[in-house]
Amino acid sequence: MADFRDELNSYKTRYQQKQNNRSNFRHTFHYCDDYQGILYLMELLDSHCHLDLPIFDPDRDAILARCGKIGVKSIIVPGINKAGWGRLLTLCSRHSNLLYPALGLHPLFWAQHKETDLSELARQIHQHQPVAVGEIGLDYYLPDQNRTRQLGCFEAQLDIAEQTGLPVILHVRKAHDVVLGLLRRRRIKGGVAHAFNGSLQQAEQYIGLGFKLGFGGTVTHSRAHRLRRLAQQLPLSALVLETDAPDMAPANHHGERNRPDYLPEILNTLAHLRDENPLTVATRTTANAKQLFAINITNQGPA
């Protein structure tokens, strides 16, 4: 126990030194990376990662091995469309103590979704018991999206979430007030507003409805002033970490395919912005997500 405390204090001192030299977060991450003991103590959870997509086929196992080494102990893999659910479920069952499935119909793929996909979703959820219904929501960002179709599909999936008692993983752009209005009329077990991009007032309304706000790669970009301010204002109890890989790469990997093992970079940025210890941020955000998704993982040590 004494050894552990010494180790932790030494980490804190050295982390503080790094914080004083705030020019480059990548250094902090590399420093942590060398320090396997501390990362082993840091249990991280990526609450949104599309690791099932074929873009990860060439090196998925290597990425997962690295996740195990650097403390990313659990990853939520949300569904996008019916055609992808089978592959996603197979992958998650092959790594059942690391990958956790969510099933849903993504709003941007509204043109692919059929009426019968909804009954199939209810059936698959009953059979496979995913941790959430997602990724679902409304995307009103682009003008050429069929809002009526999106809304119908979203409401039907909220019905399923309500009936099954599962939380939801929400994708919402330019539609937070519509979504909040729908949620207020229902009894949803909470969820995550993934890649949150709304106002402080909207964030507070989600929190009031039992939701967490997902923070990912965007917060690492120095020009994301509004989002960075939000990351400082919100209580730690309301935050979860996510990569949204393969999209939304952190600033140090701009233009690259994003990966779940980049999650510590998001952690470091959040801790820095909030002036909190990364261990505290890691512990709380992981606990938030595990409680929400009813995941109970014991720390099994380095892979």
Residues interacting with Zn ion, by CB under 5 A?
Answer: 135
Q: Which is nearer to Zn ion, 241 or 271 (CB)?
A: 241
For residues 226 and 188, give the distance between their C-alpha atoms in angstroms, rounded to a whole number: 28
Question: C-beta of 244: minimal distance to Zn ion in Å?
Answer: 5
DSSP-derived secondary structure letter, 251? G
C-alpha closest to that of 241 among 210, 299, 283: 283
> Which residue sits closest to Zn ion, CB atoms considered?
135
Residue of 42, 35, 1 lying closest to 18 (CA atoms): 35
**Cβ 48 to Zn ion shortest distance, Å:** 6
The least distance separating Zn ion from the CB of residue 248, rounded to whole angstroms, comes to: 9
Residue closer to Zn ion (CB basis): 32 or 289: 289
Nearer Cβ to Zn ion (84/190): 84
Q: In angstroms, give the least distance from the CB of 83 to Zn ion.
A: 16
- Distance in angstroms (rounded) separating the CA atoms of residues 63 and 75: 12
How many Å apart are CA 242 and CA 217, to the nearest integer? 8
Contact 170, 157 (CB under 8 A): no
Rounded to a whole number of angstroms, the minimum distance from the CB of residue 50 to Zn ion is: 6
Q: Distances from the Cα of 202 to the Cαs of 34, 150, 171, 181, 299, in angstroms?
A: 39, 21, 14, 11, 35
Nearer to Zn ion, 81 or 252 (CB): 81
Task: Give the nearer residue to Zn ion in terms of CB position, either 135 or 261.
Answer: 135
